């Protein structure tokens, strides 16, 4: 369970999945390492392959920390490029104040934007 999380609190949710988005009070009750905001919807753009062919797609991500839903975000990245996915995951955890050396505690479900079918679950091993 994430530090400071209440038992049974599920973060996020998508229309029709039966999980309601948490209230502002619920979000404020979860202690984050740097006090950052847990509101969803940040868009991050990845393009480190300068000049090269890159199949960038709009992707919906669900990021988990030790199995608990941590963040949802939409990004533009190549779902078949592990370096891009690693960078997206790394940026997400660093943005929330976590030490990048703890990346192996996180995993990420990857879906094409607005498509409920899972493309892959991405994790970095140490």
Q: 11-62, pLDDT tens digit by residue?
A: 444 444 455 555 555 555 555 554 444 444 444 444 444 444 558 889 999 9
Spatial separation of the C-alpha atoms in residues 41 and 72, rounded to whole Å: 7
59 Cβ partners below 8 Å, 6+ apart? 74, 75, 76, 77, 79, 110, 111, 112, 113, 119
**Predicted local confidence at residue 125, as pLDDT:** 86
Task: Report the alpha-carbon distance of residue 112 to residue 118 in Å, rounded.
Answer: 8
**What are 123's strand-pairing partners?**
107
Q: Give the predicted TM-score (pTM) of the model.
A: 0.57
Give tens-digit pLDDT for 49-108. Answer: 444 455 888 999 999 999 999 899 999 999 999 999 999 999 999 999 999 999 999 999
Contact 112, 59 (CB under 8 A): yes
């Amino acid at each position: 369970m994430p530090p400071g999380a209440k038992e049974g609190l599920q973060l996020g949710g998508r229309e029709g999945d039966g999980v309601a988005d948490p209230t502002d009070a619920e979000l404020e009750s979860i202690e984050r390492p740097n006090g950052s905001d847990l509101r969803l919807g940040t868009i991050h753009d990845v393009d480190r392959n300068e000049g090269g062919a890159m199949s960038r797609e709009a992707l919906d991500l669900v990021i988990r920390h030790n199995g608990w839903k941590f963040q949802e975000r939409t990004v533009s990245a190549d779902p078949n490029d592990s370096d891009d996915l690693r960078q997206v995951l790394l940026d997400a955890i660093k943005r929330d104040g976590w030490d990048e050396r703890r990346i192996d505690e996180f995993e990420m479900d990857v879906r094409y934007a607005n498509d409920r079918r899972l493309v892959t679950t991405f994790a970095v091993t140490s």
